[in-house]
Chains A and B, each alone.
Chain A
Amino acid sequence: MKIIVSVKQVPDTSGKVAVNPDGTLDRASMQAIINPDDLNAVEAALKLKDETGCKVIVVTMGPPPAAGMLRELMARGADEGILVSAREFGGSDTYATSQILAAAISRIGVEKDDIVMCGRQAIDGDTAQVGPQIAEKLHLPQVTYAAEIQKTGDTITVKRMLEDGYMTIKVKTPCLLTCIKELNAPRYMSVGGIFEAYSKPLQTFDYETLKDDALIDPTTIGLKGSPTNILTSFTPPQKGAGLMLNEGDDKANCEKLAGILAKKHII
């Protein structure tokens, strides 16, 4: 049994974000982090590894520096890393990305008792599309928004969250699950794990490695294989600053504000 976790390195959008004059994101100024939901997926895999002793393989598509992220995941306990990286893969939208990742995962091989895991969505795009699309390309059943995962034999029972409650879903391996933050609290790297991380196997899958897969075709990967195009990107205008009520004491300011709201018939 093994678990393949698909992860992504993303710019940290929680801090200050710089935008270039042409409206694109100034990625160089932002810290690259592991996508938060993906950490939950890795943790879910490591928990199953703790229980069953299965192997955990982390796979990412990205530029070569993304290998550093894979090492960090090995320091958390993952056994192997796969970096999917090639110029031909650049410019892929979610459809093309799923196509490439599905090819990489089928090269690793999905066997009867294996599980593929993803984070719910990445904070750079917030699309939540790559997980289900990998599942479709690999003909695997999927369960998204997993908040609890239990494995008994070849049956996985998932608490799948809905906005107004949840569904309990049973699915047999092999399958694909996407994980949300309520699922678990990701572990830290450990000191021992860090000292082992660089001696664990890390492979790079480039275009040559994957080109014979039926999913890999110039018309289905990269910019050319992406069904969607960006027409334009832009920054929303900043709303102008309003009125600061700072002349009186707190009480006077509150009364002034309530007066304005009443006068404007807002309250």
Chain B
Amino acid sequence: MSFNNTDIAAFKDVWVFCEQRQGKLMPTDFELISEGRKLADELGVDLCGLLLGENVEGLAKELGGYGADKIYVCDHPLLKNYTTDGYTAAICQVIEELKPEVMLFGASNIGRDLGPRCAARLHTGLCADCTHLDVDMPIYKDFLREASTLAPEKIDGMNSAMVLGEKHDVSRDLKMTRPAFGGHLMASIICPRFRPAMATVRPGVMKKNVFDQAKADACQIVKPAFTLTEDDIQTEVVEIVKAAKKLVDLIGADFIVSVGRGISKDVEGGIKLAEELAAELGGVVGGSRATIDSGWLSADHQVGQTGKTVHPKVYVALGISGAIQHKAGMQDSECIIAVNKNDTAPIFEIADYGICGDLFKVTPLLTEAVRAAKAAK
């Protein structure tokens, strides 16, 4: 059967690539299954997971609990560890056979290696590092009304796009929204002429559904056919090493105390003050790009466009000026507190509460005040 990726009507269902590392599903899988469920409902199709590995069938049912109707399991010894070649070969064969209309990957270091390779092989469009996905036009327009500065009449009239000089109805296209230019601009991308429409999705952004055991039990497991030989794989995985140090879980934290360039005059002291405040709040320490680039904090602490996107209950920015790349990663926090020496720092423009002062003086006082306020409760 020939694969014609422009025969749009021949493609249906929403698929999610479910990444596993050493036999463990990634948290992003649940976020993507949950988001994929929403899209599949908007399209009126099934949501399917695509799980690759060796002896991974046992992981499949759990994905059903977050909304997958069906899990395609590609089990093969050569898929035990991730390789670009092996995974691309298997996924492309299965896609060509089963023709999903939407394919989502987590924008992890693996998803962003695999997604573009698959899209290039299948000759289709891929939108990287998406932060918002829509199909349904009224829902998409509501999103634009809230998240953009576009004029209301422009949003109301947005039903089609010019594609190769012709008006194209976008109502059934996946609208893939992502930040560009370091977060200065947002763009909604469509893939109107080819299928599947592919996206990698930023971890930590999509909301996870509540696990439902009944759905997990009902989830179907299907093993599609594909062929793979050692000759297909040109790279050799020599070893996989987990970081020895426990990495900071910024994405899961309710309280984040981040430091910026403002700690430069006493880096260790500044970090210690942040740690004390974070400990009092029950949170973790993060940092701006400057602190990571200067080697003051390790990369897992980085918040921002090139780091992690976080939305904790409280985000405290100590000595962070608020460059747009940083704001892109934290502006959706529920409550932002900024401490900065410079009263014109852009961080104050988005802060719920601001204190203009020396972080080395203010932070210990704030820690003490929080402790006292908690004790008084």
A157 is an interface residue with CB less than 8 A from chain B: yes
Please pick, from A143, A162, A171, A242, the residue contacting B352 in the complex, using a CB distance under 8 A: A242
Interface string of B43-64 (1 = CB under 8 A from A): 0000000000000000000000
Known: A170-B238, A227-B119, A250-B365. 12 other contacts (CB 8 A): A17-B181, A23-B150, A25-B181, A126-B179, A127-B129, A129-B115, A133-B120, A143-B235, A165-B240, A167-B82, A239-B349, A255-B369
Residues 208-238 of A contacting B (Cβ, < 8 Å): 224, 226-238
- Closest chain-A Cβ to B229's Cβ sits at a distance in Å of 15
Please pick, from A13, A227, A245, A260, the residue contacting B193 in the complex, using a CB distance under 8 A: A227
Please pick, from A17, A172, A253, the residue contacting B184 in the complex, using a CB distance under 8 A: A17
Please pick, from B84, B148, B190, the residue contacting A142 in the complex, using a CB distance under 8 A: B84
Which residues from chain A contact B350 at a C-beta distance below 8 Å? 238-239, 241-242
In the bound complex, what is the Cα–Cα distance between A264 and B299 (angstroms)?
Answer: 33
In the bound complex, what is the Cα–Cα distance between A157 and B236 (angstroms)?
Answer: 9
- Closest chain-A Cβ to B243's Cβ sits at a distance in Å of 5
Q: Are B353 and A145 in contact (CB under 8 A)?
A: no
User: Can you list 27 A-B contacts with CB-CB less than 8 angstroms, sorted by A residue number?
Assistant: A14-B182, A94-B126, A95-B119, A127-B128, A128-B112, A128-B129, A132-B113, A141-B85, A144-B84, A166-B241, A166-B243, A167-B239, A170-B236, A229-B190, A231-B158, A231-B161, A231-B175, A232-B150, A233-B185, A234-B144, A244-B354, A244-B355, A254-B362, A257-B369, A258-B372, A266-B313, A267-B314
Q: Are B349 and A14 in contact (CB under 8 A)?
A: no
Q: How large is the interface on A (under 10, 10 to 19, 20 to 34, 35 or more residues)?
A: 35 or more
Which residues from chain B contact A124 at a C-beta distance below 8 Å? 180-181
Q: Are A13 and B170 in contact (CB under 8 A)?
A: no
Please pick, from A23, A137, A182, A228, the residue contacting B190 in the complex, using a CB distance under 8 A: A228
Residues 138-191 of B contacting A (Cβ, < 8 Å): 144, 147-150, 158, 161, 163-164, 170, 173, 175, 179-182, 184-191
Q: Are B348 and A241 in contact (CB under 8 A)?
A: yes
Q: Are B116 and A129 in contact (CB under 8 A)?
A: yes
Q: Are B120 and A233 in contact (CB under 8 A)?
A: no
Give the secondary structure class of A's interface: mixed
Q: Are B148 and A235 in contact (CB under 8 A)?
A: yes
With A133-B119, A162-B109 in contact, is A228–B353 under 8 Å at CB? no
B323 is an interface residue with CB less than 8 A from chain A: yes
B123 is an interface residue with CB less than 8 A from chain A: yes
Q: Are B109 and A161 in contact (CB under 8 A)?
A: yes
Which residues from chain B contact A191 at a C-beta distance below 8 Å? none
Which residues from chain A contact B21 at a C-beta distance below 8 Å? 162, 164
Q: Are A95 and B125 in contact (CB under 8 A)?
A: yes
- Closest chain-A Cβ to B310's Cβ sits at a distance in Å of 15
Please pick, from B149, B331, B362, the residue contacting A250 in the complex, using a CB distance under 8 A: B362
Q: Are A136 and B109 in contact (CB under 8 A)?
A: no
Which residues from chain B contact A266 at a C-beta distance below 8 Å? 313-314, 334-335
Contact surface of A with B, Cβ cutoff 8 Å? 11, 13-14, 17, 19, 23-25, 93-95, 98, 123-133, 135-137, 141-145, 157, 160-172, 175, 182, 224, 226-239, 241-246, 250-251, 253-255, 257-262, 266-267
With A124-B181, A238-B350, A254-B366 in contact, is A267–B125 under 8 Å at CB? no
With A19-B185, A239-B349, A261-B373 in contact, is A126–B164 under 8 Å at CB? no
- Closest chain-B Cβ to A246's Cβ sits at a distance in Å of 6
Q: Are A262 and B377 in contact (CB under 8 A)?
A: yes
Q: Are B365 and A254 in contact (CB under 8 A)?
A: yes
Residue with the greatest number of chain A CB neighbours at <10 A, chosen from B314, B353, B368: B353
Interface string of B320-335 (1 = CB under 8 A from A): 0001110000010011
B121 is an interface residue with CB less than 8 A from chain A: yes
Q: Are A254 and B355 in contact (CB under 8 A)?
A: yes
In the bound complex, what is the Cα–Cα distance between A249 and B107 (angstroms)?
Answer: 45
Q: Are A157 and B238 in contact (CB under 8 A)?
A: yes
B192 is an interface residue with CB less than 8 A from chain A: yes
Residue with the greatest number of chain A CB neighbours at <10 A, chosen from B110, B182, B357: B182
With A163-B108, A229-B189, A250-B362 in contact, is A244–B356 under 8 Å at CB? yes
In the bound complex, what is the Cα–Cα distance between A133 and B242 (angstroms)?
Answer: 28
Task: Enumerate the 7 nearest inter-chain pairs by beta-carbon distance, A residue then B residue, closest first.
Answer: A227-B125, A13-B182, A258-B369, A141-B234, A228-B125, A136-B120, A234-B148
